[in-house]
Amino acid sequence: MKQIINTTKAPAAVGAYSQAIKAGQLVFTSGQLPIDPATGDFEDDIKAQAHQSMKNVGTIIQEAGGDYSAIIKTTVLLSDIADFAAVNEVYETYFDGGYPARSCFQAAALPKGAKVEIEAIAYIEK
């Protein structure tokens, strides 16, 4: 059975999609821009953007019943691959060494002019 996951603690979708879908024990988040749900804006700094995108992913996973340790796969999209090291530095602080599988790509452009967008797949054992 498919369940739509939405929370006001993460930014609302900027298009025709759900924040996440839970199918059985798997949760698939949509790509999370670095939008602060309280203000609707984001900072220009790449590290601040990476933190906010990760916070948004975590909030959605939490709404589905998990936490960062439940994440098994992520995809990171960057507007500039030269930001890889800075984003990686932030990214690794959200995990206790048991990192999920990950892909990282440079995209020609991201919505709203963001520098980073992160999506995740989580496995929740409930």
| pLDDT in the model for residue 54 | 98
Inter-residue contact 95 to 11 (CB < 8 Å): no
Cα 49 from Cα 34, distance rounded (Å): 5
Cα 22 from Cα 27, distance rounded (Å): 4
Q: pLDDT digit string (tens) for 49-88?
A: 999 999 999 999 999 999 999 999 999 999 999 999 999 9
Q: pLDDT digit string (tens) for 12-25?
A: 988 899 999 999 99
Catalytic residues: 104
Q: pLDDT digit string (tens) for 92-117?
A: 999 998 899 999 999 999 999 999 99
% pLDDT > 70, the chain: 100
Sign of CA dihedral 97, 98, 103, 109: negative
How far lies 24's CA from each of 1, 14, 16, 88, 102, in Å? Answer: 6, 26, 23, 30, 22
What CATH topology corresponds to 2-123?
A: 60s Ribosomal Protein L30; Chain: A; (3.30.1330)
The ranges assigned to domains in the chain are 2-123
pTM: 0.96
Distance in angstroms between the alpha carbons of the first and the last residue of the chain: 14
